[in-house]
Chain A
């Protein structure tokens, strides 16, 4: 199984919105609404931010939102804050009864 494709880096200024894409295939992202997103600060464990494409766990800011179109899922962060600077990973369930991650995107808040 090939990794999902994410941009290596994105950046934005405080208060702006950014979107991170996550492109898979018809065997994963395109076939299942089981895409989740994780935020990872340096030296820390990843934290679940979005699951089932669009749902937010309790305690996650509503500035984080998810969507999907075809084989591409997206994470949007609005009202960027300095604390949002981190690495972000998407993952999807696949038709092989497995999970595949994206390569990760480094978000820089300018």
Chain B
């Protein structure tokens, strides 16, 4: 059973870069796609993007190129960076495994607040 665990700062200042890492255990990151999904407080889920260990990525156009997902196969982890953050980026961020066409494994989620 693969397990995912998000880590990173819980508070980021406006205009700075949000950086999160997802550690994967119980399975190799070299198989399947991996991704990030976020949920603003009290709101619905929003897909951010996916990455394969080969480096292939795809992103939600709504991020307007502010988001970058990278993978480190040696550490069995992948990361998310969102630049120029605003209060609208405040959310619980979940890392996920994309198995075929569905998100079958989820991390617990980590709340990132954007505030000065």
Point out residues on A near B: beta carbons under 8 Å.
Answer: 1, 3, 32, 34, 36, 38, 45-48, 51-52, 57, 89, 91, 93, 96-104
Contact = CB atoms under 8 A, between A and B. Distances in A.
Interface residues of B, number: 20
Contact of A98 (B61, B102, B103): B61
A99 B60 CA distance: 8
15 contacts: A3-B44, A45-B94, A45-B106, A46-B103, A48-B102, A48-B104, A51-B100, A51-B101, A52-B101, A91-B45, A96-B61, A98-B47, A98-B61, A101-B44, A102-B44
A51 B60 contact: no
Interface in B77-104: 94, 100-104
Given A45-B94, A98-B61, A91 B47 contact: yes
Contacts of B108: 45
Nearest to A6: B44
B58 interface: yes
Given A98-B61, A101-B44, A101-B46, A93 B103 contact: no
B47 A101 contact: yes
B14 interface: no
Given A1-B61, A45-B108, A36 B44 contact: no
